[in-house]
Amino acid sequence: MPITFNRSGKAGMLVGMISIASLMFALTAQAEEGKSSAATQREMSEQYSDQPSSSESAKSSGATSSGATSTESGKSSGDKLSRADERLMMQLAQANIAEINAGKLAEQKSNNDQVKSFAKKMVDDHTKALDDLKQIASSRGVTLPTEPDRQQMAMENKLSALSGEKFDSQYIAQSGNRAHRDTHRLLQRVRNRATDPELKSYATQVIATVESHQQLARDTSKNLQSTSEGKSGSSMEGGSSNK
């Protein structure tokens, strides 16, 4: 019996030690697995913390969209003329049309080469000025008039009723001097008051052309006057010699 007891005790102790060792191994393994899992979670957390949140992404996207819309809106509003600029553009178109119509009339009715040459230049230059204005109007969505205003049409009708030297002198006085003086003032007003930069640039360029027309009109008017005085002098001399 004592021998059996001793063997059983030793066997029990051995089994106990093996159980304790197994338990410690299991606990150690669990601890290592826990550390590894915690490290993995920390790495994932750090990675996601570097990326913007969904709300921040939405804000950023909204800001970008808003900025693009604002820019496009600014371009659209910049392309549209103010009412004041549009009225000025209409007046410029009518002034050009009036000069073109009067010039064409002079090319048909006048027998004076200087007057016809002046009229042709008016038609050519003001046609170009009108075409340039039409391009600006088209880009701004503005429809220009196709006829002069009432006062300009009335002056054109008066010219149509004249002929010969009366027509020549009236045409130079009306279209060459008075009309260009009014057009020059209008262009100065556009240059100084218009808010559209392209319209202001147009006025600056055309002013130089109109000023050259004014000088040419003065020269043509003097030549017509000299020719008329020469004819009068010749007529008086002829009358005296007949006596």
8 and 102 together in one domain = no
Residues 34 and 135 in one domain: no
| 51-83: pLDDT as tens digits | 444 444 444 444 344 443 333 333 333 468 899
Question: In this structure, which long-range contacts are made by residues 117-125, counting pairs with CB atoms below 8 Å and at least 24 apart in sequence?
Answer: 118/172, 118/176, 118/216, 118/217, 118/220, 119/171, 121/213, 121/216, 122/175, 122/213, 123/99, 125/209, 125/213
Our count of domains for the chain comes to: 3
Same domain, 196 and 145: yes
Two tokens at 72? 């496009």
In a domain, 212, yes or no: yes
pTM of the model: 0.65
If you average pLDDT over every residue of the chain, what do you get? 79
Q: Which of 89, 85, 74 is nearest to 196 (CA)?
A: 85
Judgement on whether residues 171 and 59 belong to the same structural domain of the protein: no
Q: Give per-residue pLDDT as tens, 190-238.
A: 999 999 999 999 999 999 999 999 999 999 999 998 887 767 666 556 5
More confident residue, 187 or 39: 187
pLDDT at 229 (0 to 100): 73
Cα Dmax for the chain: 190
Looking at the structure, tell me whether residues 120 and 216 fall in a common domain: yes
242 assigned to some structural domain: no
Structural domain harbouring 71: 52-81
Query: For a pLDDT cut of 90, what percent of the chain falls above it?
Result: 59
- For residue 243, being part of any structural domain is answered with no
141 dihedral zone (left: phi>0; alpha: psi -120 to 50; beta) = left
pLDDT one-digit tens code per residue, 76-126: 334 688 999 999 999 999 999 999 999 999 999 999 999 999 999 999 999
- Shared-domain flag, residues 194 and 222: yes
CA distance 158 to 149: 15
* 221 occurs within a structural domain: yes
Q: State the average pLDDT over residues 23-51.
A: 54
